[in-house]
C-alpha cells in the first residue's frame, strides 16, 4: 500500500513538472511572438539564476528567429505563386496558338492558290488538306468530337433544339446534330445541339 502511495506521489510530481515545463514553453512562445525587441532578459522571472535566464533568452531568440524566417518564406511563396499564376493565365493558350500557326500558314497559302487558279478540283483538294491538318492538330491537343447521331438523347451531353416525328425505333434518339459537341481530354466542353425524334 505504501509503495502504491509512493508511486502515486511520484506520478503527481512528474505531472507537476510536466505542467511547469508546459507553462514555461507557453511563456517562451508568447515572448517569441512578441516582436518588440525592447524586451530583455530583465523581464524574465527572477526565480532562477543568471545562467538559466541566459539559456531561456537564447531559446526565445532562436524560436523568434525561426518564426520570422518561416513568415518571410511564406510571404515569398505567396508572392511567387501569385506571379506564376498570373504568368500561367497570360500564356495558357500559347501552346495551342503556336500549333495553330502552321494551319494559319496553310490557309494563307491556300488563299493565294485560290486566287491564281480556276481548277475547282485543286481548290477543293487544298481546302480539304487544310481542314484535315486543323483536325489533326486539335486531336493532338486532346480535342475529340462527340458522336451523337442515332444515340439515345442524353441531357447531360445533348441540347435539344427541336423534336420531329420519327419512326418507332428512332423515338427518343438523336436524329440529326446541328452543332457538334466536343470533349477536351475526355471532359465535356461543349454540348451537342441536336434534333430529337418523338
Q: Is 176 helix (H, G, I), strand (E, B) or coil?
A: strand
Cα–Cα distance list, 167 to 102, 160, 172, 196, 197 (Å): 46, 18, 10, 12, 8
- Grid cell 501569385 in the structure block, residue: 82
Give the model's pLDDT for residue 117.
Answer: 81
CB-based burial label for 17 (10 Å; 0-12, 13-18, 19+) = exposed
- Grid cell 477536351 in the structure block, residue: 184
Which distant-in-sequence residues (6+ apart) come within 8 Å of 150 by Cβ?
170, 173, 174
Give the model's pLDDT for residue 114.
Answer: 84
pLDDT in tens, the chain (198 residues): 444 444 444 444 454 454 454 455 555 545 555 544 444 444 555 555 788 888 999 999 999 999 999 999 999 999 999 999 988 887 778 888 888 898 999 889 888 888 888 888 888 888 899 999 999 999 998 999 999 898 999 999 999 999 999 898 889 999 999 999 999 999 999 999 999 998
Give the model's pLDDT for residue 99.
Answer: 86
- Helix 94-115 crosses helix 120-140 at what angle (to 10 degrees)? 180
Amino acid at each position: 500500500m505504501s509503495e502504491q502511495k509512493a508511486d502515486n506521489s511520484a506520478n503527481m510530481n512528474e505531472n507537476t513538472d510536466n505542467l511547469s515545463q508546459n507553462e514555461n514553453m507557453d511563456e517562451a512562445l508568447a515572448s517569441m511572438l512578441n516582436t518588440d525587441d525592447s524586451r530583455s532578459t530583465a523581464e524574465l522571472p527572477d526565480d532562477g539564476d543568471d545562467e538559466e535566464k541566459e539559456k531561456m533568452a537564447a531559446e526565445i531568440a532562436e524560436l523568434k528567429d525561426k518564426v520570422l524566417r518561416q513568415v518571410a518564406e511564406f510571404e515569398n511563396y505567396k508572392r511567387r505563386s501569385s506571379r506564376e499564376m498570373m504568368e500561367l493565365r497570360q500564356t495558357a493558350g500559347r501552346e495551342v496558338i503556336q500549333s495553330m500557326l502552321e494551319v494559319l500558314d496553310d490557309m494563307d497559302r491556300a488563299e493565294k492558290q485560290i486566287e491564281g487558279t480556276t481548277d475547282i478540283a485543286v481548290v477543293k483538294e487544298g481546302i480539304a488538306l487544310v481542314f484535315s491538318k486543323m483536325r489533326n492538330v486539335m486531336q493532338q491537343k486532346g480535342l475529340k468530337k462527340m458522336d451523337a447521331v442515332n444515340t439515345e438523347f442524353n441531357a447531360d451531353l445533348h441540347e435539344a433544339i427541336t423534336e420531329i416525328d420519327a419512326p418507332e425505333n428512332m423515338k427518343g434518339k438523336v436524329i440529326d446534330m446541328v452543332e457538334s459537341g466536343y470533349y477536351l481530354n475526355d471532359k465535356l466542353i461543349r454540348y451537342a445541339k441536336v434534333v430529337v425524334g418523338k
